[in-house]
Chain A
Amino acid sequence: MNKELKKRGLRFYASIYFKIIAQDFKSKMSYRADFVISMLGMILTNISGFVTFYIMFQNFETINGWNYYEMLFLYGFSLIALTPMQCLFDNNWNLRYAVYDGSFIKYCFRPINIFFYFISEVFDVKGLGQLLMGSLTLGYAWYHLGLQMTVWKAFLLVAALLTGSLFMIAIMNLAAATCFWLVNSGFVMVTMFKFTEYARYPVTIFQGIFRGLFTFVIPIAFVAYYPSYIFLRPGLPVLTCLSPVFGIFFFWISYRVWMLGASRYSGTGN
C-alpha cells in the first residue's frame, strides 16, 4: 500500500511550477479584456509616479546630491526589483483570507512544500506592465548617465536586481505571515507595501531613526539604493558588498517565519 517517494528536488518543483504558470497564463489570456485593462491600469499608475518625479525636478536641480537621471535610475531599478514580488508572490495578499476562513487547510494535504504550493497558485500578469515601465526608465537613465555596458556590468546589474527583489519578496513574506499570529494583519501588509514606495529614494534623504529603520528593520534601502550604488557612485560601501548575502539570508528568514506560522495553523474547524 505504501508507495515510495521519489526525491522531490529542485527539478521536480521547477517542472511543476512552470506547468502551473503556463496553464494559469493561458487561462488568464482567455479573459483578454481583463488582461488588457489591468495592464493599462498598471502602466497608468506608473506614469503618474513618473510625472510626480518630473515636476519635482522642474523645481530642484538635485535632491540631496542626486540628480534627475540618477533618481530616475533608482526609480526604474526599484520598479524592476518589485516585479518578481508582484508577479510571482502575489498570492501572499490572499493568505490572511485563507487563514481566517479556514480554507488554508487544503494546502496541508498535498505531499509538497506548503509555501511552494500556496505561492505557485497565482501568477499575476499585471506586474509585467511594471517590468516594461521599469526597464524603459532604467535604460533611459543608463543612457543619459553615460554608463557603459560591459559583460561584467550586465552581470552586476542582474545580480543587483535579484538582490533587490529578494529583499522585496522577503519583506512582503514577513508582512503576510503576520496573519498566522494577528487577527487584523491586513494593515501590516498595506503599511509595508506603502513603505516599499520609499525604496525609489536614496536612503540618505532620511535622517536618524528613520534611516536606521529603513536600513535594518524594514530594509527597503536594500531594494534599490544599496544594490545600485555600485553603478552610480565611486567606492563600495560595505552594505553594498554584503547586500546579496543579506538578501539570501533575509529571504530564508522570511521563509522560515512563514513556514513556522503555517505549522502553527490548525484551521478554524467546521
Chain B
Amino acid sequence: MESIITLKNVSKEFKVLNRHEGIKGGFQDLFSRDYKIIKAVNDISMDIMPGEICGYLGPNGAGKSTTIKMMTGVLEPTSGEILVNGRIPYKNRTENAQNIGVVFGQRSQLWWALPLIESFKLLRDIYQIEEKDFKDMMELYESLVDIKELYSKPVRQMSLGQRTLSDILAAFLHNPGVVFLDEPTIGLDVSMKSKIRDLIKALNHEKKTTVILTTHDMGDVDALCKRIVIIDKGIMLYDNSIENLRSFFGAYRTLRLRFAKDASQLTKEALKKQAAELAGDLKNVYPQAKSIGVSAGEEWVDVLLNEDEIALMKVLNHIQETRRIYDVQLKEISTESVIKKIYDKEIE
C-alpha cells in the first residue's frame, strides 16, 4: 500500500534575532544582524498509511506544531520533501486544503455568529460537496452523536465540548483523506473526552480517514492510536507501535497505593505530599534502585519500578511495615510513564 503522507529528511529552521538587554541593547537590536538559527524540526522522515490513526507526541516546543503546519501547507520546509495526498502542500495550498481537514488549537474554525447548520452548509459550498454526499455525511453524524439539537445553535453560545464536537465534524465533512487534530480533548470533562474519542474512532473506521493526532493526554493515545511518533527538540525519538514501546519496559510494574480511607485525604495536594514522603523514604532504603519513581496520580500514589533491578514484593513489604495501606493495585507500566521515560531520554 502506498503511503498517504510522506516526510523525507524534513527540516525547518527559523532565524531568530539575538536580543540584547536594556535600552542600549534595544537600539543595538534595531540595527543588529546578529541572528541565530533555530532548528524547530530536524531531519524527520516518516510514512503514514491510509486509514491510520497516528499519535504525534512530544513535550511543549518540541516541533509538533511546526511539522503540522508544514503538512498543511502553511509553512514551507527549509529542506526535505513532504507529500500529502500525493501533493506538495505548500506549493498548492488551496488544493491541499481541499483534501485535508484541520482542527487546530481550541479556537473554533466555524462562523462564530452563525447557527451550526448554516456553517455546515457554507462548508458544503466552499468544498463543493455534492448534495448527496453531504446528506449521507449528515445522516452518519446524526447516527453517531446527538448533533441535531445543536443545528440551530450559534457557535458562540456553545459549551467547549459542543464546540469541539462541531469542529471535528466540520473537519470530516468534505470527507478528506487526512484529518489533523491538535489536542482535541484538552479542557474537556471525562465523559465528553470519551465521547470525542468514540467519535474520532467511528469516523476513522467508517470513512477510512487518516488521522494525525497531537495530544498531551495519554488517554487519547490509549483509546485511539496504534502507532505513535515522538519528537523532542525537533528530533524524532520514536516511531513505532505502542505495544512495541511497552515491551521495552516489560519488567516495569506500577504499584498503585492508597494511604487513606477518606476521600478528603485524597486531594491533589495530599497525594503529592504522600508521594514526596514515600519517594524520600524509598531512596534512603534502596539507594541502588535508580528505576524507582513515585508520582501522585488521580486518587492513587503510583510507584514505578523495574523488577530486574529490585523485587516488587520487597518494596511492598517495606512500605507496609512503615505505613498503613488501605488499597493496592498492580499494573503494567502506563503509556504516560513510558512516554515520560522517552522524554527524559531514559531509553534510546
CA–CA, A266 and B66, complex, Å? 9
Contact between A111 and B95 (Cβ–Cβ < 8 Å)?
yes
A100 to chain B, nearest CB (A): 13
Given A103-B107, A110-B97 in contact, is the A266-B69 Cβ separation under 8 Å? Answer: yes
B78 to chain A, nearest CB (A): 12
Smallest Cβ-Cβ distance to B110: which chain A residue: A106
| B86, B114, B174 — most chain A CB neighbours (10 Å) | B114
Interface size class of B (residues with CB under 8 A): 35 or more
Of B24-32, B122-130, B246-254, B317-325, the segment with at least 4 beta carbons within 8 Å of chain A is: B122-130
Contacts of B61 in A (CB 8 A): 269
Judged by a CB distance under 8 angstroms, whether B72 is at the interface is yes
A21 to chain B, nearest CB (A): 11
A104 to chain B, nearest CB (A): 10
CA–CA, A109 and B174, complex, Å? 13
Interface SS, A side: loop
Contacts of A6 in B (CB 8 A): 128
Q: Which of A27, A102, A112 interacts with B126 by CB under 8 Å? A: A112
0/1 string, A2-13, CB within 8 A of B gives 1: 110110100000
Contacts of A8 in B (CB 8 A): 94
Smallest Cβ-Cβ distance to B112: which chain A residue: A121
Judged by a CB distance under 8 angstroms, whether A256 is at the interface is no
Judged by a CB distance under 8 angstroms, whether B219 is at the interface is no
Judged by a CB distance under 8 angstroms, whether B340 is at the interface is no
Judged by a CB distance under 8 angstroms, whether A28 is at the interface is yes
Contact between B95 and A5 (Cβ–Cβ < 8 Å)?
yes
Contacts of B98 in A (CB 8 A): 3, 5, 111
Q: Which of A2, A28, A106, A266 interacts with B99 by CB under 8 Å? A: A2
Q: Which of A3, A5, A19, A108 interacts with B74 by CB under 8 Å? A: A108
Contacts of A112 in B (CB 8 A): 94, 126
Contact between A1 and B111 (Cβ–Cβ < 8 Å)?
no
CA–CA, A23 and B152, complex, Å? 12
Given A6-B128, A102-B105, A105-B104 in contact, is the A1-B85 Cβ separation under 8 Å? Answer: yes
Contact residues, B100-114 vs A (CB, 8 A): 100, 102, 104-105, 107, 109, 111, 113-114
Smallest Cβ-Cβ distance to A102: which chain B residue: B105
Contacts of A267 in B (CB 8 A): 65, 69, 74
Smallest Cβ-Cβ distance to A106: which chain B residue: B109
Contacts of B109 in A (CB 8 A): 106, 109
Chain A-chain B contacts (Cβ-Cβ < 8 Å), number: 90
Contacts of B86 in A (CB 8 A): 2
Interface residues of A, CB < 8 Å — how many? 29
Given A20-B122, A109-B104, A270-B182 in contact, is the A5-B69 Cβ separation under 8 Å? Answer: no
Contact between A266 and B113 (Cβ–Cβ < 8 Å)?
no
Given A2-B85, A111-B97 in contact, is the A266-B75 Cβ separation under 8 Å? Answer: yes
CA–CA, A20 and B98, complex, Å? 20
Contacts of B111 in A (CB 8 A): 20, 23-24, 121
Contacts of A245 in B (CB 8 A): none
CA–CA, A269 and B114, complex, Å? 28
CA–CA, A16 and B65, complex, Å? 30
Q: Which of A27, A109, A269, A270 interacts with B72 by CB under 8 Å? A: A109
Contacts of A184 in B (CB 8 A): none
Contact residues, B154-199 vs A (CB, 8 A): 154, 174, 177, 182-183
Judged by a CB distance under 8 angstroms, whether B137 is at the interface is no
| 10 interchain pairs, CB-CB under 8 A | A16-B122, A23-B114, A108-B72, A108-B74, A108-B93, A110-B97, A110-B126, A113-B94, A266-B69, A267-B69
Q: Which 4 A-B pairs have the closest CB atoms?
A: A111-B97, A111-B98, A1-B177, A109-B102
List residues of chain B with CB under 8 Å of any chain A CB. 4, 50, 60-61, 64-66, 69, 72-75, 85-87, 93-95, 97-100, 102, 104-105, 107, 109, 111, 113-115, 118, 121-122, 125-128, 154, 174, 177, 182-183
List residues of chain A with CB under 8 Å of any chain B CB. 1-3, 5-6, 8, 15-16, 19-20, 23-24, 27-28, 102-103, 105-106, 108-113, 121, 266-267, 269-270
Besides A1-B4, A106-B107, A121-B111, 11 new A-B residue pairs in contact (Cβ under 8 A), listed by A number: A1-B99, A2-B99, A20-B111, A27-B113, A27-B154, A108-B97, A109-B97, A110-B97, A110-B126, A266-B74, A270-B183
